[in-house]
């Protein structure tokens, strides 16, 4: 049963009070029309709770803008939502089409720094975030007294005589809820084994990210992936605030879990808002944390992954590279929930700090 505007509301009552359900909750496909964003298709969601977000269908079905009661929570790059035809795969040139947004995927066959592996030249974070989806469907449906809206689609990283990796994604939200759920499957549809790396590259920005913003990350171990050294500390870290001299921070966490799930909280108590990320850990054994609080950037990325971020060659050398056999499927589930007010924030922080 939905909670709408301070009232628990059953389906019958809701339908008596609206002309159409889209008055409260809905999803629609739109297309951007200008500059390097021209032709980018997006699915716009609103849930009736104050949560509004867009799924960039033409960009690997990542989530771009993510707002709650008009307040932006995701970091946005100055490149904008660049159309796939402007993607530059070489080296680190992917940054020229790096939209940011709430999250985009690194993968499906390479994550992290550019590298050379098995005769392939691999660019920053792989290709999937710059590929358009097909078989796209948007709709809504009732399940008892709950109403859901969703977008689904398929993104393929494929070549004529080589790889054929298929991401099938559904993103769903419930009317009256502050939470979205992403359900993914990745299939190796080729007749030969394939490397598989995936990162849910999650990006937070102002006003959520300010001096004193706290991250509660229940890590069992944290390392600096560049030096390989273990980093001491507890489950809590705090943003220092923007500075012209800020240095980038890169950590990789081995995460604790409970009942097969892990997650973390990022919260700004002065703002009274936070985000709780929860994910099924069986196929996402690491959490990558990257921060750049330099003036004009001010971005914090905390994303679950099945790998480190040093590139595919390094992952193979470490003996940790995931290989999918022909026809093999891996499934993933990640949810994002906006926390509204001190009570919700403190409840989730207690849970994850005590994990």
**Could you tell me the CA-to-CA distances from 174 to 61, 148, 332 in Å, in that order?**
19, 4, 19
**333: nearest Cα among 284, 294, 290, 285:** 284
Query: In this structure, what token pair is assigned to residue 176?
Result: 């009256």
Boundaries of domain holding 124: 2-353
Place of tokens 């004529």: 160
Domain of 339, CATH number, reads: 2.70.98.10
Q: CA-to-CA distance for 324 and 231, rounded, in angstroms?
A: 32
Full pLDDT tens readout for the chain, 355 residues: 888 988 899 999 999 999 999 999 999 999 999 999 999 999 999 999 999 999 999 999 999 999 999 999 999 999 999 999 999 988 888 899 999 999 999 999 999 999 999 999 999 999 999 999 999 999 999 999 999 999 999 999 999 999 999 999 999 999 999 999 999 999 999 999 999 999 999 999 999 999 999 999 999 999 999 999 999 877 788 999 999 999 999 999 999 999 999 999 999 999 999 999 999 999 999 999 999 999 999 999 999 999 999 999 999 999 999 999 999 999 999 999 999 999 999 999 999 999 9
Q: Is the peptide bond before 287 cis (omega within 30 degrees of 0)?
A: no
The pair of structure tokens assigned to 144 is 């008892």
Using only the alpha carbons of the chain, give its radius of gyration: 20
- How many domains does the structure of the chain reveal? 1
């Amino acid at each position: 049963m939905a909670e709408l505007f301070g009232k628990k509301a059953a389906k019958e009552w809701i339908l008596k009070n609206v002309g159409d359900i889209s008055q409260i909750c809905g999803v629609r496909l739109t297309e951007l029309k200008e500059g390097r964003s021209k032709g980018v298709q997006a699915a716009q969601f609103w849930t009736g709770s104050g949560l509004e977000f867009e799924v960039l269908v033409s960009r690997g079905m990542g989530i771009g803008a993510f707002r709650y009661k008009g307040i932006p929570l995701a970091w946005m790059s100055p490149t904008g939502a660049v159309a796939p035809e402007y993607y530059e795969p070489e080296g680190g040139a992917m940054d020229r089409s790096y939209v940011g947004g709430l999250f985009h995927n690194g993968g499906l066959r390479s994550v992290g720094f550019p590298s050379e592996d098995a005769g392939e030249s691999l660019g920053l974070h792989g290709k999937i975030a710059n590929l358009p989806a097909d078989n796209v469907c948007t709709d809504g449906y009732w399940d008892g007294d709950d109403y859901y809206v969703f977008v689904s689609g398929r993104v393929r990283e494929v070549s004529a005589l080589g790889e054929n990796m298929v991401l099938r994604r559904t993103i769903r939200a419930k009317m009256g809820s502050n939470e979205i759920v992403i359900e993914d499957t990745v299939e190796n549809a080729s007749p030969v084994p394939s490397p598989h790396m995936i990162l849910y590259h999650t990006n937070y920005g102002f006003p959520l990210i300010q001096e004193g913003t706290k991250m509660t990350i229940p890590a069992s171990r944290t390392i600096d992936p560049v030096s390989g050294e273990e980093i001491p500390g507890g489950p809590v870290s705090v943003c220092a605030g923007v500075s012209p001299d800020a240095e980038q921070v890169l950590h990789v966490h081995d995460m604790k879990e409970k009942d097969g799930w892990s997650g973390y909280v990022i919260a700004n108590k002065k703002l009274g808002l936070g985000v709780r990320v929860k994910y099924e850990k069986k196929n996402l054994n690491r959490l990558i944390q990257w921060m750049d609080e330099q003036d004009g950037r001010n971005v914090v990325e905390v994303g679950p992954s099945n790998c480190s971020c040093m590139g595919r060659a390094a992952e193979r050398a470490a003996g940790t590279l995931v290989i999918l056999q022909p026809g093999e499927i891996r499934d993933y589930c990640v949810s994002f929930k906006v926390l509204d007010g001190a009570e919700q924030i403190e409840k989730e922080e207690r849970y994850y700090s005590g994990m």
